[in-house]
Amino acid sequence: MSDVPERWSDEQVALVDLIDRVIGGGVVITGDIVLGIADVDLVYLGLQLVIAPAHEVEQSISLRRRSA
């Protein structure tokens, strides 16, 4: 436990960390092909829909509808 943590290889990067940063972070430069914020929300909520337990799905759907 006291060892300095080892650096990881890419295979170990958890999907949730990846999505958090790759879709939630970084710089947005609006290009000529714009995928709006609503689409990005869809991406994130879409992920929740697939991973979340059944009882939480309903809530995600209502969130999705609100953001649409």
Partner 1 sequence: MDETIVHAYGIVADNEALAEFPPGIAETRVWVFDTDGLGAIVSLLPVEGFGVSDWERNAANVSWLGRVARQHHEVLQYASMNATVVPLRLPSLYQSLESLAATLGAASDRLERDLGRIQGKVEWAVKAYRTAKADRSAVSAGSASGRDYLIARSRDLSARNTVRQQLSEQVREIHNALGEVSAEQVRNQPQDAALSGRSEHMLLNGAYLVSRADEARFLELVGKIADSSLANGILVEVSGPWPAYNFTGDAEARATEALK
User: Where on the chain is the footprint of partner 1 (CB under 8 A)?
Assistant: 1-5, 7-8, 10, 13-33, 35, 39-40, 42-43, 45-53, 56
Cβ-based nearer residue to partner 1, 26 or 65: 26
Angle at 39 between CA 26 and CA 17, to 5 degrees: 45
- Select 4 or 66, whichever has its Cβ closest to partner 1: 4
Beta carbon of residue 58, minimum distance to partner 1 (angstroms, whole number):
13
**Nearest 5°: phi and psi at 13?**
-65, 120
